[in-house]
Amino acid sequence: MKKKPHQPTGPDRAEKERARTVPPPPRRPRDRILVALDVQTLKEADDLVDRLHDVVGGFKVGHQLFTAHGPKAIHHIRGKAGRIFLDLKYHDIPATVAKSACEAARLGVWMMTVHAAGGREMMMRCKEAAFEYAVAHRTPPPIIVAVTVLTSLTQLELIRDLGVSRNLDEQVRHLANLAQGSGLDGVVASPNEIRLIRESCGPQFVIVSPGIRPAGSESHDQKRTAEPARALSDGADYLVIGRPITGALDPAAAAEAILSSIEKHGGRALQETRRP
């Protein structure tokens, strides 16, 4: 009897490759803005999503909302929120982070975070676990980005409190290279470090920037900030913006004002720096 051709039981190579590729960021500035839902109740989150889902590209669920409501916070806004970015900044032993990444993939989030300071093995195992889940379930894997140095920290705190003797820029570059070498898709970094990360990690590496402050707005606890247009023209793929939008009386109007400022100052630069 003629032998049947081999039928691969697992996902084939092309599918694995597809799952590995991170799509380039959207061209329109509004689709690159991710609003941080740093609120206490599902109702507040819901309200912000209702007001902003037509204006911005996605929403970030972080420690506050997730600690208060767990996966319900994701299920609640899924459907109308578009892209959901789960920002829990995992930093634990590799096995624990890998299992958590698998659960994040099960939740169907579009992007998630770990701390680069968790080390190479933690990041590799995390990426592998989320990727394997996605391939096995034929869903897109979450984009995994590593936090380099929090935007609320200064050079002085890095040396004095954390005992890191490197210059802040060098520490960010070092952690970005480590994240890239560990197979992660990108990093979270302050707008001040976007250029150096682009230079070091190339055009395909995803850069997400919090610490975004429109001209004249309050910086709150953020120390390394920049205006939205500058962050985009420097090469950020996505901007995370919280209080300048969510704390406004009219969040949609605040987001539109930010978009106008981007159009005015950075529209052309953004197109020039778009990843191929």
List contacts with ligand C5P (CB under 6 A): 36, 38, 62, 87, 147, 150-151, 188, 210-211, 220, 222, 240-244
Rounded Cα distance, 147 and 175, in Å: 8
Query: For the chain, how far is it from start to end, CA to CA, in angstroms?
Result: 51
Residues that are catalytic: 89
Query: Quick one: how far is CA 147 from the chain centroid?
Result: 9
User: Residue 5 and residue 3: Cα distance in Å, rounded?
Assistant: 6
Shortest CA distance to 231 belongs to which of 185, 175, 189? 189
Q: Which tokens in the block code for residue 121? A: 């093995």
Nearer to ligand C5P, 87 or 132 (CB): 87
What would the two tokens of residue 208 be? 């997400």
Smallest distance, ligand C5P to C-beta of residue 213, A = 7
CB of 160 to ligand C5P, least distance (A): 19
Read off the amino acid at residue 145.
V
**Smallest gap from residue 256 Cβ to ligand C5P (A):** 17
In the bound state with ligand C5P, the residue whose beta carbon lies nearer, of 151 and 273, is 151
Closest Cα to residue 45, out of 81, 79, 70, 12? 81
- Do the beta carbons of residue 205 and residue 245 sit within 8 Å? no
Nearer to ligand C5P, 231 or 241 (CB): 241
In angstroms, give the least distance from the CB of 147 to ligand C5P: 5
Of 122 and 239, nearer to ligand C5P (C-beta) is 239
DSSP strand pairing (83-90 vs 58-61): parallel
